[in-house]
Homo-oligomer: A and B are copies of this chain.
């Protein structure tokens, strides 16, 4: 968050490298654009902010079709359109593989939601799907067949962007978009807030269609860009928010009071 004379701006930046964060043979350019935009727009929304603009740093290999770049742009633009944001500029360079360096800028209509605001006693709640994108990626990785909507979930997230303004309105104390996996991202809130987050194993939504590894996908899969927040005890949560745990004294993330033994997305393993 940047305070400027008379206002505040939030900014976030991600780098996506072909072969690590996406594969051109697994996702088309349009979906790649939607997804690259979504993950940064969701980051802005998770601060309680309103996305306004994207800057795109675009690394282009020599063999890339112009049509690929045009469809990528269409995807970026259409995802921005959902929120009234625009692709405002950027940089185009030659590169050995496709690189997408996305910066999202947003304005804060009200208070900022930070990772550091959770307090012991808060309710932890989730808005949006968990595990679907991870299940789809697993199907692609194994070359296995499976429900097309799982693969679609990997290719194009559909973050419930309204979660940001809702969370502000509900008095949320912290909010994050689930990009690295639920346990890992709640761990960021726990660390920044100086609390432990204890998930209620029985309250976690684990749809049968995610298959035998559903629980792992729900706890560690990130690309759905659900939102996870903390709310003062007694907050009347609408049905779109699912309470999945509590903030308590301590540190880290536990499930039913016990260590979870799970890892989320490792930025250096992939």
Q: Secondary structure at chain A's binding surface: helix, strand, loop or mixed?
A: strand
Residue A23 lies at the interface, judged by CB distance under 8 Å to chain B = no
Q: Which residue of B lies closest to A54 (CB)?
A: B13
> Which chain B residues border A91 with CB–CB below 8 Å?
13-15
Given known pairs A20-B95, A109-B5, the reply for A57 and B267 (CB within 8 Å) is no
Q: How far is the CA of A66 from the CA of B89 in the complex (A)?
A: 32
Residue A59 lies at the interface, judged by CB distance under 8 Å to chain B = yes
Give 1 or 0 for each of A2-35: 1 = CB within 8 Å of chain B CB: 1011111101111111011100000000000000
Q: How far is the CA of A6 from the CA of B7 in the complex (A)?
A: 5
Q: For the A-B complex with A57-B101, A96-B96, A103-B103 known, give 20 more contacts whose Cβ atoms are closer than 8 Å.
A: A2-B9, A2-B88, A5-B107, A6-B7, A7-B8, A9-B105, A11-B88, A11-B103, A11-B105, A12-B55, A13-B103, A15-B57, A17-B96, A19-B96, A20-B93, A55-B103, A57-B57, A59-B99, A94-B267, A101-B101
Query: Which residues of chain A (238-270) have a CB below 8 Å from chain B?
Result: 267-270
> How many identical subunits does the complex contain?
2
> Which chain B residues border A59 with CB–CB below 8 Å?
15, 17, 99
- Tell whether, in the assembled complex, residue B7 and residue A5 are in contact, meaning their CB atoms are under 8 Å apart: yes
Q: How far is the CA of A13 from the CA of B59 in the complex (A)?
A: 12
Most B CB contacts (10 A, CB to CB) among A7, A90, A92 go to: A7
> Which chain B residues border A77 with CB–CB below 8 Å?
none
Q: How far is the CA of A188 from the CA of B6 in the complex (A)?
A: 31
List 16 contacting pairs A-B, 8 Å CB cutoff, sorted by A: A2-B52, A2-B107, A4-B8, A4-B9, A4-B52, A5-B7, A5-B109, A13-B56, A15-B95, A17-B59, A17-B93, A19-B96, A93-B267, A94-B267, A94-B269, A99-B101
